Amino acid sequence: MFCARAPEARSLCKGFELTLHIETEGDGRSLALLHGWGVDSRVWDGVRSELASRFRVHVVDLPGFGQSPVCAPYTPGEFARELARALPESICVCGWSLGAQLALRWTLDFPTQIKQLVLVAATPRFARNPGWASGIDAPVLHDFASGLRRNVTSTLKRFATLQTHGEKDARQKSAWLCKRLFTTDPEVLQASLQMLLETDLRSELFQIEQSVLLVHGQIDRLVSEASARAFQQLLPRAKLEIFEDCAHVPFLSQSKKFVSLVSEFLDE
Among candidate residues 30, 41, 68, 97, the one labeled active-site is 97
The pTM assigned to this predicted structure is: 0.93
Predicted confidence (pLDDT) per residue in 67-79, tens digit:
999 998 999 999 9
Q: Is residue 35 within 8 Å of 44, Cβ to Cβ?
A: yes
Domain count for the chain, please give it: 1
Asked whether residue 36 is domain-assigned, the answer is: yes
pLDDT per residue as tens digits for the range 177-197: 998 887 668 889 999 989 988
Note whether residue 9 is domain-resident: no
129: DSSP letter: B
**pLDDT above 90: percentage of residues in the chain:** 71
CATH number of the domain that 132 lies in? 3.40.50.1820
Catalytic residue among 35, 58, 216, 248: 248
**Does residue 8 sit within a domain?**
no
The question of whether 248 is a catalytic residue gets the answer yes
Rounded to the nearest integer, the mean pLDDT of the chain is 90
Residue range(s) defining the domain that contains residue 28:
22-266
Classify residue 165: in a domain, yes or no: yes
Mean of pLDDT values over 8-21: 57
pLDDT(15) > 70: no
CA distance 105 to 132: 19
pLDDT of amino acid 183: 66
For residue range 114-143, list pLDDT tens digits in order.
999 999 999 999 988 888 888 887 777 778
Share of the chain above pLDDT 70, in %: 93
Kindly state whether residue 12 falls inside one of the protein's structural domains: no
Within-domain flag for 173: yes
Pairing mode, strands 238-243 and 30-34: unpaired
Does residue 6 lie in a domain region?
Answer: no
The pLDDT, as a whole number, for residue 119 is 98
| pLDDT tens, residue by residue, 207-239 | 999 999 999 999 999 999 999 999 999 999 999
Residue tagged active-site, from 220, 224, 227, 253: 220
Residue 1 counted as domain residue = no
Identify the pLDDT of residue 8.
52
Q: What share of the chain is helix, strand, coil (3-state, %, to 5)?
A: 40, 15, 40
